[in-house]
Amino acid sequence: MVSDQKRLGAQDDPAITAEVEQLLARRTRDIRFSGEIERLFRARVWSQTAKIIRAWMMWVAVLDVLTLALYMVILPRAIAVSMLLPGAIIPPVVIAVVLAWRKPRPSWLQGPTLIAGMFLILFSVALVGVSAGGEFYERHLNIMLFVAITAIIIFGIPLAWTMTIAALALGLYLIFQLQNPAIELGSAVAATLFFASGVLATIAARRIMTILAQKTFLFELRDRRRVAELAKANARLELLARTDPLTGIANRRWMTETLDHLWGNDKRCLDGAAMLMCDIDHFKKLNDHLGHAEGDRCLVEVARIIQENVRRDHDHVARYGGEEFLVILPGVNEEEAVFVAERIRKSVEAAGFPNPGSRVSRRVTLSIGVAVQTSEEAISPEQLQRQADAALYLAKQTGRNQVLLHRPDSAERKHSQSTRSAARR
């Protein structure tokens, strides 16, 4: 049996899609499956069909055993014993068919197995009546046709298999009726034709049921494809809604959702976190001197450098404004956060992107404000961002191209500033 994954994957095949649309454009009665569509349909209905066939076979076996047991009780011993041997054919045949239909096998094996099993079951039912003779002769031939008709109605098998079973049943009926001493030749032929009309009507009804099931399957394939296309379109829209179109990194909306997720409901980041606010120095002058195209290229390259200097599977980077980038570093302390920020700053400066209008350097530089929250602190991400913004503002006010860590005490903040400035010199 084709797996669900293969069946779902087939809906993306343009040839399958075209064939589905072509079949649905036809009248319902003109639907005919072939090739891959037929294989997909058989894979779709196999499990249900197999369960029905196995259950029907078991039902026939149980009825056979119960009927023979009843005959042993109510009929003369000689007649009952004559029924036992032909009736004993059914249980082993049922077991063989049930085993053949326990799991998917090639149709060239399961089809003949089912047809042969049906022939032996029908032959057994008819032979029980023929062996007993008298009133049982006609009765069991009628029971045989009833058994065949129930199988035709409920078995969701290919039409060729169904017609073969019907032909076998009618053939057995005609052969045994021709040998029935109780009726004439004309009556045997007339009875066979009468039952043949009923069997053909049953086959037609079974065919309609199959066509309706096939049409439902076509709708299912088409709907799955449309749902898949809609899901892909929604995924693209969601990606566009959360991604900065220029740099390809997350945008402000996505970062806001990430912050809410990291902080949770108790306004604490359980592992602690650092926030880096990065701003390109004199970015407006770069646009004025080199043009907006060069400014866009600078933003793309800076975003790439920032991503290369953080943990891809752990940290979060977003373009937060025009030339501002926000970085979240979960689970780091002050020293680690400043180290990462300084590595980003140095990498951008070393890249050597030109910025002839900058009063800091002839190359593109970054100013970075750092704020850190420990796992014990209960401050909101908005408060942490204000702290990072304050540190960034101070970094830009005191010379740019530097990393400053937010300190609640201004004296400590100035000390941090002078220490890092001396280190750069």
Catalytic residues, by residue number, are: 323
Among the listed residues 55, 42, 58, the one whose alpha carbon sits nearest the alpha carbon of residue 156? 42
Contact indicator for 366, 279 with CB cutoff of 8 Å: yes
Residue 364 per-residue DSSP state: -
- d(CA 117, CA 96) in angstroms, rounded, equals 8
- The distance of Cα 226 from the centroid of its chain, to the nearest Å, equals 13
Q: What are phi and psi of 289, to 5 degrees?
A: -85, -40
Contact indicator for 384, 359 with CB cutoff of 8 Å: no
Contact indicator for 36, 220 with CB cutoff of 8 Å: no
- d(CA 115, CA 119) in angstroms, rounded, equals 6
Contact indicator for 390, 406 with CB cutoff of 8 Å: yes
- d(CA 178, CA 185) in angstroms, rounded, equals 6
Contact indicator for 53, 101 with CB cutoff of 8 Å: yes
For 226, the enclosing helix (H) or strand (E) is helix 185-242
Contact indicator for 290, 299 with CB cutoff of 8 Å: no
DSSP per position, 67-127 = HHHHHHHHS-HHHHHHHHHHHTTHHHHHHHHHHHTSS---HHHHHHHHHHHHHHHHHHHHH
For 273, the enclosing helix (H) or strand (E) is strand 273-280
Q: Measured at the alpha carbon of residue 342, what is the angle toward residues 339 and 347, in degrees to the nearest 5?
A: 125
Tokens matching residue 352: 């050597």
What Rg, from alpha-carbon coordinates, does the chain have? 41
Among the listed residues 168, 320, 176, the one whose alpha carbon sits nearest the alpha carbon of residue 258? 320
Residues in the chain: 425
- d(CA 228, CA 268) in angstroms, rounded, equals 39
Beta-carbon contacts of 192 under 8 Å, excluding residues fewer than 6 positions away, are 170, 173, 174, 177
